[in-house]
Amino acid sequence: MRVLQNKMQLGEIDISQIKIDEKSRDDIPQILRGLQYLYTNAEIRGKLFAALEKAIPANIDKTNGRPGMPLWRIFVLAVLRLDLNCDYDRLQSLANNYKTLREMLGHGVLDEDYYYELQTLKDNIRLLTPELLSEINQVIVESGHKLVKKKRMTS
């Protein structure tokens, strides 16, 4: 299990370059813009990934066995599930069919047939315990405070 892919795949779009519909009033593009901000800010991303590493169970050998779902994907899907207050069936549909979300998850044109199974989503998202989510929330709140303070200083 890893936080991110080691290197980008052919046809994959860098998360900072994903074009998210700015005119949409739907909640999904707003969530994706927030995730994009978290990912593109190196300081926040470092703190976030350090927290996400704690989701890997102690009895898992990260160098042996089949690769698990990258923690970034688990985080993105967990954020969507919580923010949309949706069930796993809707989350599965979004993960398999929503183009911009798939780009945020790191899917390129070569793996457009990649399919998220319902049980895989359940098993992986449950790795983010309430305690871990609280820690991640603290990182996000702190970054939000810094962002608001920075905007006030430049206004």
pLDDT tens column, 29-61: 999 999 999 999 999 999 999 999 888 777 766
C-alpha–C-alpha distance, residues 90 and 106, integer Å? 20
Q: How confident is the model at residue 25 (pLDDT cuts 50, 70, 90)?
A: very high
Neighbouring C-beta atoms of residue 143, cutoff 10 Å: 18
Tell me the chain's radius of gyration from C-alpha atoms: 16
Is it the case that residue 106 has pLDDT exceeding 70? yes
Tell me which DSSP letter residue 80 carries: H
1-5, 49-53, 97-101: least confident range: 1-5
* Higher-pLDDT residue of 84, 154: 84
Is it the case that residue 28 has pLDDT exceeding 90? yes
